[in-house]
Chains A and B, each alone.
Chain A
Amino acid sequence: MAENVLKRLKEAVLNYDVEGAVAVAKEVIETGFDPLIAIEQGLGEGLSIVGAKFEAEEIFLPELMIAAQAMKESLATLEPALAKGKSRKVLGKVIIGTVEGDIHDIGKSIVATMLTVNGFEVHDLGCDTPTSKFVEKAKEVKPDIIGMSALLTTTMVKMAEVINALKKVGLRGQVKVIVGGAPVSAAWAEEIEADAYAEDAMACVDVAKKLLSK
C-alpha cells in the first residue's frame, strides 16, 4: 500500500497528471499515510526526474509547467497535514520575482520551477513586482535567497532599488541576492552589489546551492 501510494504519486507527476496527483495526495491524508514521506519520496522523486529531463532537453516548457502545477496543488493538500514541528526538507527558502515595470514572466517562472524541483522552497511573487513587495515578503518568510529577473534595460535599475531597500530595513546581510534576465550580466550584478548572476535556470540552481553552502 505504502509503496503503491508513493509510486502513484511519482507517476502522476511524471505523467503530467495534475488531477491524478491531487487525488493520490488526498488518499494519503485519508489513509493516514505519513504526508512527509509522500512529499519526499513520492512527489519529490517524481520532480527530481522531471528536472533532470528538462535539463537533458527530453521535456520542454509545457511539461515542466504542468509538473510544477501538479506539485503545487498536491503540496497544498499534503503540507497542512504535516505533524507539528515537522516540515519537508528544503535546501533553502527563495523569494523570486520579475521587477517592477516588467511583465516578462516566463523565464522567471522556469527558474522558480527548476529551483522548486531541485528542493528549494520557492515563493514566486510573479511579474511587475514592486520593490516594497520584495521587502515585505522578505520580512515575512525570512528567505535565504532573493532572486530577481529583468528583461528590459530600463527595468534592470529596479534590482538596485530592491537591494538598497533591503539594506535600509537591515535585511541585506541575511539574504543572498541572485539576478538574471536577458540584459543582465555578471558585471551588472557586481555593480549593484548582488551576490551572484545566473545565466539560466540550471545555472541559478547551481549558484543557489553554492551560495548556501558557503
Chain B
Amino acid sequence: MNPHERLMAFLEGRKEDADRLPVWCSTRTFTLDGMKIFDAYWPKAHKDPETMARLAAGVYELTGNENMSVPFDMTLEAEALGAPCEYFEGKIKWISVKRFIATDIYEMDIPEDPSEFAKRGRIPVCIEAIRILKKKYGGKVPVTGIVTCPLTSVGGYLIDPAEFHKYMIKEPERIHRIYETLNPYYAAVANAFKEAGADVIVFTEEGASLDNISPKHFDQFVKPHLTELIGMVKPPRVLHICGSLISRGLEVITSMIDCGAEAITIEERTPMSEARKIADEHRAGYVIGGNVDPYNVIHNSSIDAIRSRVKKVVADGVDMVSPGCDYWIETSTEHIREFVNAAIEYGTPPRWKKEED
C-alpha cells in the first residue's frame, strides 16, 4: 500500500484493509529545513504556488511524513474577508493581522457569489499549489487542503476575540449570523481545493476547545454550524481542534464526531486513551488521529522519548499517527524521520490485525 491508499482506507471507512497505521500531519506541513533545502522561504512560499508546493512537499521528501498540506497558516480566509495581513518580508515569521476590522458580519468584505471568494487573496495560490502537488504526487502521497473554520477565523483575526466571546452570551444571534453567512464561502474554498485535487479537507476550529468555550456553547454554536459546513463538502473530511477537549468530567469529543467528518484529529492536551474510549462508546471504531506533542516531544525530546511517546499513542488506540498540530518549524529532519519511523514500526500491523492473530 502506498501512503495515499493507506490514508484513504482510513478515511473511507475501510481501515481493516490497511497494512499499518498512516503517519501524517493532519494540519500544516513546513519546516525550516525544508525552506533551506528546497529554497522555499516564507513569505514567498505563501504567495507563489511553485514555492508553496515545494515547501509543502518538503516534509514528505525529507522525512517520509505521509502527506503534504497547504496553506501554512490560519489567516487565509480572514484575509480574503478583508483582514489586513503583515507578511514580514525578509523574515521567517507567521503572517499576522495588523488590526481587527470588524465587529459583525456586515463590516466584512464579502463577495456576492461564494465562488468569487475562492479567487481572493492567497486562496488561488493554494489552489494552484494543490494542482502542482497533485500532478507530481497524485495517487501516491495524499494532498491535504486546510480550511480554518469561521469561529477561529473570525474570532481570531477579524473581530477582537475579547469582544467576540462576549457575543456568545450577550448576543448569540450575532455568532449564528456569522457562521450562517460564511459557511457557503468557506465551503467554496474547500470545494475549490478538492477540485484542484486535494484528497482530503481538514477543517480546523482551534477556537472551539475547552480552553475557550464550554461544551454547552460548543453544542449551541459550533456543532450545528460545523455540521452544515462539513456537509457542504464531499468526503473525505477531517475535523481538527487543538487544545483541551476533555477536562474535569467535560468533553466535546462526541460533539466533534457528530459534526459529520470521517475522522477527528486531536492534540496532546487531550489524552488519546480517553478520547478513544469516549469515541468508541459513541461510535465504535470511529477514526481518531493525533496526538504526539510537536514541540515538547518531536522537536525538543530525545529520539528515545519520541519513540516511546509514539508507542504509547499507538497503544492508547490512535488510528492515524500525527503530531498534535503543525510540526514545530525548527524541528530537525532527523527528529521527524525518527517520529515517522517509530509510527511505522509500532503501527505495523494495526492493532485490529494483532487482535486477530
Give A residues with C-beta under 8 Å from B: 16, 18, 56-57, 59-63, 65-66, 69, 103, 105-106, 109, 152, 154
Which residue in chain B gives the minimum CB-CB distance to A59? B214
Q: What does the 1/0 interface line of B79-102 toward A look like (CB < 8 Å)?
A: 000000000100101101111100
Assuming the contacts A16-B169, A57-B247, A105-B161, asked whether A62 and B96 have C-beta atoms less than 8 A apart, the reply is no
User: Which of these, B91, B213, B214, contacts A154 with CB under 8 Å?
Assistant: B91
Question: Judging by beta carbons under 8 Å apart, are A62 and B213 in contact?
Answer: yes
Given contacts A59-B214, A60-B217, contact A65 B166 (CB under 8 A): yes
A62 pairs with B165, CB closer than 8 A? yes
Q: Find A103's partner among B97, B168, B170, B248 (CB 8 Å cutoff).
A: B97
Measured between beta carbons, the chain A residues less than 8 angstroms from B160 are 105
Shortest distance in angstroms between B245's beta carbon and chain A's nearest beta carbon? Answer: 12
Q: List 11 A-B contacts (CB under 8 A).
A: A56-B248, A60-B212, A61-B212, A62-B167, A62-B168, A63-B169, A63-B214, A66-B170, A103-B99, A152-B93, A154-B93
Residues of A within 8 A of B162 (CB): 65, 105-106, 109
The chain A residue with its CB closest to the CB of B167 is: A62
How many positions in chain B have a CB within 8 Å of any CB in the partner chain? 26
- B217–A57 touching, CB < 8 Å: no
Could you say which of A61, A66, A105 contacts B213, with CB atoms under 8 Å apart? A61
Minimum C-beta distance from B75 to chain A (A)? 12
B284 contacts chain A at the CB level, 8 A cutoff: no
Residues from chain A with a CB closer than 8 A to the CB of B214 are 59-60, 62-63
Determine if B53 is an interface residue (Cβ-Cβ < 8 Å): no
A206 to chain B, nearest CB (A): 19
CB of B210 closer than 8 Å to a CB of A: yes
- Given contact pairs A152-B96, A154-B88, a sample of 12 additional A-B residue pairs in the complex whose CB atoms are under 8 Å apart: A57-B250, A59-B214, A60-B213, A61-B212, A62-B169, A62-B214, A63-B214, A66-B169, A66-B170, A105-B162, A109-B161, A154-B91
Nearest chain B residue, comparing its CB with the CB of A112: B162
Residues of B within 8 Å of A16, CB to CB, are 169
- Chain A residues with Cβ below 8 Å from B94 are 152
Q: Give the 9 A-B residue pairs with the shortest CB-CB distance, closest first.
A: A62-B168, A106-B161, A62-B165, A60-B214, A109-B162, A61-B165, A61-B212, A65-B165, A65-B166
Report the minimum CB–CB distance from B328 to chain A (whole Å): 11
Enumerate chain B residues within 8 angstroms of A57, measured Cβ to Cβ. Answer: 210, 247-248, 250
Q: How far is the CA of A66 from the CA of B248 in the complex (A)?
A: 23
Expressed in whole angstroms, the minimum distance between the Cβ of A100 and any Cβ of chain B is 13
Chain A residues lying within 8 Å of B97, measured Cβ to Cβ, are: 103
User: Within the assembled complex, what's the spacing in Å between the Cα atoms of A195 and B116?
Assistant: 52
Q: Measured between alpha carbons, how far is A178 from B96 in the docked complex, in Å? A: 25
**Residues of chain A contacted by B210 (CB below 8 angstroms):** 57, 60
Q: How far is the CB of A97 from chain B (nearest CB, A)?
A: 14
Shortest CB distance B164–A (Å): 9
Nearest Cβ on chain A to B151's Cβ, whole angstroms = 12
Chain B residues with Cβ below 8 Å from A69 are 166
Residues of B within 8 A of A65 (CB): 162, 165-166
* Min CB–CB distance B250 → chain A (angstroms): 7
Which residues 37-55 in B have Cβ within 8 Å of A in the complex? none
Query: Whole-angstrom distance from the CB of A183 to the nearest CB of chain B?
Result: 11
Residues 140-182 (chain B) with a chain A CB within 8 angstroms: 160-162, 165-170
Chain A nearest CB, measured from B204 CB (Å) = 17
Query: Which A residue's beta carbon lies closest to that of B250?
Result: A57
Nearest chain B CB to A188 CB, angstrom units: 16
Neighbouring B residues of A109 by C-beta, 8 Å: 161-162
Closest to B157 in A: A103
Interface flags for B215-247 (1: CB within 8 Å of A; 0: not) read 001000000000000000000000000000001
Chain A residues within an 8 Å CB radius of B248:
56-57
Closest to A128 in B: B99
User: In angstroms, how far is the closest chain B Cβ from the Cβ of A199?
Assistant: 13
A interface footprint on B87-131 (CB within 8 Å = 1, 0 otherwise): 010010110111110000000000000000000000000000000
Report how far A16 CA is from B91 CA in the complex, Å.
44
Q: Is the CB of B166 within 8 A of A66?
A: yes
Shortest Cβ distance from residue B108 to the other chain A in the assembled complex, whole angstroms: 18
Residues of chain A within 8 A (CB-CB) of B88 are 154
Distance of A143 Cα from B91 Cα, bound (Å): 36
Which of A16, A56, A57, A69 has the largest number of chain B CB atoms within 10 A? Answer: A57
CA distance A69 to B248 in the complex (A): 27
A residues in contact with B99, CB < 8 Å: 103
B325-354 contact mask (Cβ, 8 Å, vs A): 1 or 0: 000000000000000000000000000000
Give A3 Cβ to nearest chain B Cβ, in Å.
27
**A-chain residues with CB within 8 Å of residue B93 when the two chains form the complex:** 152, 154
Q: Is there an interface contact between B217 and A62, defined as CB atoms closer than 8 Å?
A: yes
By a CB distance below 8 angstroms, the chain B residues around A60 are: 210, 212-214, 217
Closest A residue to B244 using CB positions: A57
A65 to B162, CA, bound (A): 7
